A and B are shown apart, each in its own frame.
Chain A
Amino acid sequence: MSSAVTSPVTSDQNSRLSLLQAAMVVARRDFVAILFSRSFLFFLLGPIFPLVLGLMSGGLGAAAAEQANQARIALQMPSQDMVAIRAAHQRIEDELGPGRIPHFYWFDRADGHKELDPQEMLGDPSGRYGAVLTGTLESPTLIAPPEQMGAWRGFVAMHLAIAQGQQEIAYPALETEISDVSGTKTKNQRQDTAQLSMTLLFLLMMLLAGMVLSNLVEEKANKIIEILAAALPMDAVFLGKLFAMLAVSLVGISVWFGGIAAFIAIAGDVGDVQATLIGMPTPAIGWPLFILMFVVNFSMGYLLIGSIFLAIGALASTVREVQTLSMPVTMLQLFIFFFCMFTLFSGTAWLEVAAILFPLSSPFAMTARAAMYPELWPLFVAVGYQTLWVLIFIRTGSTLFRKRVMKSGGGGATKAGLSQRFKARFAKAS
């Protein structure tokens, strides 16, 4: 009697989907499902509201700030003194340029202004007066809080000196030559570009990466997760889901930026946006490559943080749990952003290396680097390094998922959420 043998399958039957092919099956389904859902329209429209609000409040804020930032020195002096000081003020402003000297409020009694108590003026809740100049030209008194006194004392003294005719300042004719070369300026400008691009990267990640948290909750709620887990390695499922969400995010970004570009093109130079964009300092690797690297760094950053979010979200059973988890996750993102910002401005070499090596901050650090330094090879090496970490995170997440989530059938273990598991663990420990 022959014993039973296990029959190996032939090579053509054995052919399986590669990790990438398998991931693409999942990604395609998710991408199409999200893109053709009604909620995607709301997703696209979402940032418009804060953008409009931002523009409006920005415009109002700018006007308010313009008003608020004007130096306010109230003058209460005899009329003839006031005339002399006005003339001195005009002369100084002509030489230094408008907006570069403190603004004066002229309380000329000849104009019908009443004498006011300087202390009351300074205590005015509207905060219009930062200092009060009283007395006469011969015996002036500047009344101001200490923080204003230091800043304005010199300016006021200069006004008074010119008004008193003590200084006859003769300004010599000065030849001027504009130089394009300035290491300081270049560094500062590139730092500005780095800062702006990192901020944009952070905002986009904050806006878009959070979606990944709840990604697997749908699968668990619909009970499809087991079909996916049985057919494909969980690595492929995770990777596919990340690809889909990244693609959705890139579509969203394209639409938003396309919309902004179209709006600027149609509406013209609203609020100097066009001029600001054109005037932005050129990054060290040039704009085309920088934009490409920005997209690459965004993608890598999204995959890195997304793979962690996906794993965390996969362990949650309900939307409520996901919402609870979103707070520490946001804090993590904020920490990474501030760490990178600090690194950029501190200029400390070891901190920069640390920011590049720490996988979650690496895309931010490399974006800053692309703005600051012209070498390309570190950017490409970093992409490889980040890819490695994406794979490590995905493998860790999928292993955790298989161990923690796929526990049993219709019984309680699968349905027990994170909180229940924590409670159970806590009860066990205590």
Chain B
Amino acid sequence: MEMSVSDHAPTGNAAIAEVSDVPLAIEARGLVKRFDGTLAVDGVDISVPQGAIYGILGPNGAGKTTTLRMLLGIIDPDEGVRRVFGHDKPHDIGRLIGYLPEERGLYPSMKAIEAIAFMGALRGLPLAVGRERGRALLERHDLGHAAERQIRQLSKGMAQTVQLLGTLVHEPRLVVLDEPFSGLDAINQGKLERMIRELADNGVTVIFSTHVIHHAERLCEGVAIIAGGKVPYAGSVEAARDRIPAQVRLETRQREGAWTAALPDNARREGDFFYFPLPESGIEPLLKQLIDGEAGIQSLSIERAGLHDAFVSIAGEAAALAMEEDEAKEAGQ
């Protein structure tokens, strides 16, 4: 049983900066982007400390990719500033950045090893070094046998791994992954999660966008929740969860009795259970009243809010529903 955190941690950018107290890899202020007069991104603020795993969480069409593209300098914001390692022109420090776009793509006739070396060369890594490192990376990921095979001869999962290795071959300090788990089976998702953790352990900053909350919850120290082009929350995952109080689940033998008056007004009944937010005064006064009223407590648990609950609370039911639909659609595919 987990107990609620009574004094909330600081929230937003300040929160994650204060918690980490390290220099920022990415800093964006008031990013705005319009396409044909339509506002795609509306005043996004994001701060990502160096070495963090940071998630950008939102349903499809929320503005995640556009935000990432602005951060990377692929497109320029109409308003606002972005800095990557202190530079407002990310191409100037291209060697420090690795990027895996949402829409995976490689030249089908290229050999796997050449594809990795080419992606390294785009970031300034000499081709020979890229090939050498590429072979080592392929070996480490059990793909050594595929080094000389053309991309078109590889399975989808293998090609995705090759592209990811191409993203990392020049040993970047910042890795940006747009929907990296999309299209991967459970085993490869697990592998990718391990790779992300490994990168972070080596001091690499990892930013990824996702519409699957569990990935963000498992991996990220900080998240930016994005919906309708706006970022209603950016900060630590912990702070996001602390935004809503812990949930109490109570099971009693007695269905009715005077003790029910002691339950908070917003308690709801589902079958044999009562659910309600943990009262500000704590659980002890309520517990005493339940015992005195002979409610017959069978079980009582206090569960800290998950990131999903925090997302619903911050972004709204509609955004959460859209995320679930995206997830279901992807699972269906």
Contact = CB atoms under 8 A, between A and B. Distances in A.
B181 interface: no
B86 A230 contact: no
Contacts of A403: 75
Contact of B60 (A9, A37, A411, A413): A411
Given A13-B96, A33-B109, A408-B40, A25 B21 contact: no
B49 A230 contact: no
Interface in B1-47: 13, 17-18, 20-25, 27, 35, 40, 47
Interface string A385-424: 0000000000000000011001111110100000000000
A85 B64 CA distance: 96
A227 B94 contact: no
Interface stretch (B121-129, B250-258, B271-279, B285-293): B121-129
- Range of interface residues on chain B? 35 or more
Contacts of A22: 122
B74 A402 contact: yes
B282 interface: no
Nearest to B176: A230
A232 B122 contact: yes
B249 interface: no
Interface of B: 13, 17-18, 20-25, 27, 35, 40, 47, 49-50, 60-61, 64-66, 69, 72-76, 83, 85-87, 91-97, 99, 101-110, 118-119, 121-124, 173, 178-179
Nearest to A234: B74
B93 A9 contact: yes
Nearest to A428: B36
28 contacts: A1-B18, A3-B17, A4-B23, A5-B24, A6-B86, A7-B86, A8-B86, A9-B87, A9-B93, A13-B85, A25-B122, A222-B105, A224-B107, A226-B99, A226-B103, A226-B105, A227-B101, A229-B74, A230-B101, A231-B122, A402-B74, A406-B74, A409-B64, A409-B103, A409-B179, A410-B60, A410-B65, A410-B102
Closest 6 A-B residue pairs measured CB to CB?
A223-B105, A409-B65, A7-B23, A4-B17, A8-B86, A231-B122
A126 to B, nearest CB: 57
Given A9-B173, A232-B94, 14 more contacts: A1-B21, A7-B24, A13-B85, A14-B93, A16-B92, A16-B94, A16-B95, A17-B124, A25-B122, A225-B105, A226-B101, A226-B103, A227-B105, A402-B76
Interface centre among A33, A222, A223, A413 (most CB of B within 10 A): A222
A33 B13 CA distance: 46
Contacts of A25: 118, 121-122
A37 B95 CA distance: 30
A222 B99 CA distance: 16
A29 interface: yes
A348 interface: no
A6 B80 CA distance: 16
A231 B94 contact: yes
A2 interface: yes
Contacts of B64: 409
A265 interface: no
Interface string A360-397: 00000000000000000000000000000000000000
A223 B35 contact: no
A233 B91 contact: yes
Interface string A41-52: 000000000000
A403 B85 CA distance: 25
Q: Say what secondary structure dominates the interface of chain A.
A: loop
Contacts of A270: none
A15 interface: yes
A217 to B, nearest CB: 13
A220 B316 CA distance: 35
Contacts of A203: none
A9 B61 CA distance: 33
Contacts of A65: none
Contacts of A53: none
A228 interface: yes
A227 B120 CA distance: 11
Contact of A222 (B72, B102, B107): B107
Given A16-B92, A17-B124, A29-B118, A231 B99 contact: yes
A406 B96 contact: no
Contacts of A224: 105-107
Nearest to B163: A227
B74 A9 contact: no
Contacts of A13: 85, 93, 95-96, 173
Contacts of A6: 23-24, 27, 83, 85-86
Nearest to B209: A409
B86 A9 contact: yes
A406 B75 contact: yes
A411 B75 contact: no
B112 to A, nearest CB: 15
Contacts of A4: 13, 17-18, 20-24, 27, 47, 49
Contacts of B108: 222
Contacts of B105: 222-227
A129 to B, nearest CB: 64
Contacts of B178: 409
A403 B87 CA distance: 22
A407 B74 contact: no
Contact of A410 (B23, B92, B103): B103
